A and B are shown apart, each in its own frame.
Chain A
Amino acid sequence: MIEERRKERLDRGIKVTTEGIYAISSWQEMGYLLLPRLVLICGILVLPLVIPSLYWQRVISIVCIYSLLALGFDFLAHFVGLVSLGGAFFIGTGGYIAAILNTSFGLPPILTIPIATIAGGAICTLLLYPCLPLRGVYFAIVTLMYPLVMARIIEALDVLGGTDGIIGVASFPNRWIEQYGLLLIVMVSLFGLRRLVNEDIGLVFRGVKDNDQAVKASALSINFYKSIAVFIASSLGCLAGAYLAHIYMWSGISQFALDFSIIPIAATVIGGGGTLVGPVLGCFILVPISELLRAFGTLRIVFYSLILVAFIVFRSEGIMVYAQRKYHQFERWVKV
């Protein structure tokens, strides 16, 4: 008879002792807590300095834009239970608002970006409000259709610059402001969202995801909380879109393209959903790879899709969940 064994996972001792306030009692424990965070923060802050070429610095900006979208996607999908495939809708709305404010009213980027963030988030939430009662696949499909419909309407009505888009949007004064502004925004949103999901409202969000009837029974309006969550996620998307419009000095129909819906999802799948850090990490891996493969033309989309399929089928937990497990737990074989 074969001896059967299974793998047992246990938390490391240091993980348990660092869970409470007493973590500040020793340097070792504080180091255990701070190390991953410091590695991330320092890594992000150093990045623009160590990358020499202008081309790759631009790539970093694009990575950050996708990171913001991916953060919004992960927050909505894994903490509120709304799978939104309409990242492009947020990008496009934010981009067009920023472009209009800048070209028609002459506002500088420092004003257009916050206004586009808030107003864009409000517009997106308002337009998505009728769909909020939907669940699962239905919400996913309806959000997938929104950016397509917007692009076709702009094309058909020939408004907002039609197929040419809005050109002549002001750029940033210099590239350091562009880069560090964006990197700071990504970090603030990342740590802000991590904090938010552990606050009281975060508990309600998770309640909406896991058992909405129970939330209803507690006399809380599901639609109200869902719309707050959608506002947060779409504001992040609109912020990214406004930034994108100013970086490229242009806003057009291609901001409603499917890329902005697909890549954040791929990044979330690869990075690890439900961790919030994972999607950012996923973007930092995926977007540069896709730039490296640019020479192969559309073949890179093929690579991309195959990587996505491989991850979703064989490693659906993602890199970050795996890394967290290795960091916090040890494994050993035990007899059954």
Chain B
Amino acid sequence: MDILIYGIINSISLALIAIGFALVYGISRLANFAHGALYVVNGFIVWSILNILHINYLLSIILSLIIIGLIGAAIYQFILIRVRGMAISEIIASYAIGLAMLEGFRWGGFKGMTYTLPVFIRGSIEIAGIPVDFQRILLVLIGGLVVLLLWLFTHYNRIGLALRGMAQDERAAMMLGIDSDKMALIAMGLGSILAGLAAVVILPMGNIVVEAGYDKLIMAIAVCIVGGLGSWVGAVIAAFLIGFAQIITVKYIASHFHMVIALLAIIITLVLRPSGLFGRQKELEERV
């Protein structure tokens, strides 16, 4: 039973982290390797707003999401737009930006165990004999809500539909008057906001540490690759697969293997089926 409950919680948190990465890649074919950095940076932004400006928690979260969205959009508008289409340059450039942000924060003194965010609601509840705190329940609710809202946004909103058009066929979308660069900009901003949201929901359960930036990036990549790069449905399903696999290994083998599972999942998926479980790319594009 505890495997079920903690598996669901772990899976939803993985899905929250990965969905921003999947969104950006799906729409603009841009592997945003600064995703993990944006996650951690938003944690620090919320912490700074809370402890320096002393305003309402909810308000500071909303403020931080706006800021992180703007940061993400700025990264695209000023840097990544110039290397668009050159896959390797995109990866190196975005990874270097992420590295610069993370190490900048580390240099600025944001390290150690002192940075924590308060939980939304204190206390815990027992589900089938296992104590689960409210933050984790909220995480599941928010995760579900985000997936639902994203689905509604991309199916019933003009901008959302344009984003999906871009994802399906960029040239055809451009012929129909959809501005490819503007859409990619929006996608990058939205992806950053999703990374920030994941940070706000997940970080209160632990400390804000710089190293998390690298770990979360790897997790996001793992989930997206197993699910198929660019497929959101695949990302959510893969999040459940990897999430449960992790909880089961921690329970029955050893907690050291927590990360090995994700990395092995990437390698095995890429070798056997590079387009992932639900990828829609043609086989020929990715392997000989």
Contacts and interface: CB of A to CB of B under 8 A. Distances in A.
Of residues A138, A146, A156, A304, which shows the largest number of chain B Cβ atoms within 10 Å of its Cβ?
Answer: A138
B103 A301 contact: yes
A308 B154 CA distance: 36
Contacts of A145: 218, 263, 266-267
B79 interface: yes
Interface in A308-331: 308-309, 312-314, 316
B263 A137 contact: no
Nearest to A148: B263
Interface in A104-161: 130-131, 133-138, 140-142, 145-146, 148-149, 152-153, 155-156
A127 to B, nearest CB: 10
B3 interface: no
A312 B271 contact: no
A196 B36 CA distance: 40
Contact of B288 (A130, A133, A262, A269): A133
Interface in A147-196: 148-149, 152-153, 155-156
Interface stretch (A4-12, A90-98, A282-290, A292-300): A292-300
Given A130-B271, A145-B266, A153-B260, A305 B100 contact: yes
A320 B69 CA distance: 38
A83 interface: yes
B203 to A, nearest CB: 21
Contacts of A306: 96, 100
A153 B259 CA distance: 9
A29 interface: no
A85 B260 CA distance: 18
B82 interface: yes
B169 interface: no
Contacts of B107: 296-299, 302
B202 interface: no
Nearest to A296: B107
Interface in B227-279: 254, 256-257, 259-260, 263-264, 266-267, 270-271, 274
Given A134-B274, A135-B288, A305-B100, A149 B260 contact: yes
Interface residues of A, number: 45
Given A141-B270, A155-B256, A269-B92, A149 B286 contact: no
B31 interface: yes
**Secondary structure of the B contact surface, majority rule:** helix
Contact of A156 (B87, B218, B257, B271): B257
Nearest to B285: A135
Contacts of B93: 308-309, 312-313
Nearest to A127: B267
Given A156-B257, A299-B104, A305-B99, A313 B87 contact: no
A302 B102 CA distance: 8
B193 interface: no
A134 B100 contact: no
A63 interface: no
A102 B260 CA distance: 29
Contacts of A62: none
A271 to B, nearest CB: 14
A159 to B, nearest CB: 12
Contacts of B259: 148, 152
Contact of B88 (A130, A140, A156, A314): A140
Contacts of A296: 107
A44 to B, nearest CB: 27
A119 B149 CA distance: 54
B89 interface: yes
A69 interface: no
B132 to A, nearest CB: 28
Nearest to A226: B288
A135 B283 CA distance: 11
A245 interface: no
Given A216-B288, A299-B104, 9 more contacts: A141-B266, A142-B270, A156-B254, A156-B257, A262-B99, A305-B97, A308-B92, A312-B93, A316-B83
12 contacts: A131-B271, A134-B287, A137-B87, A140-B87, A148-B263, A262-B95, A298-B106, A299-B104, A301-B103, A304-B99, A309-B79, A309-B100
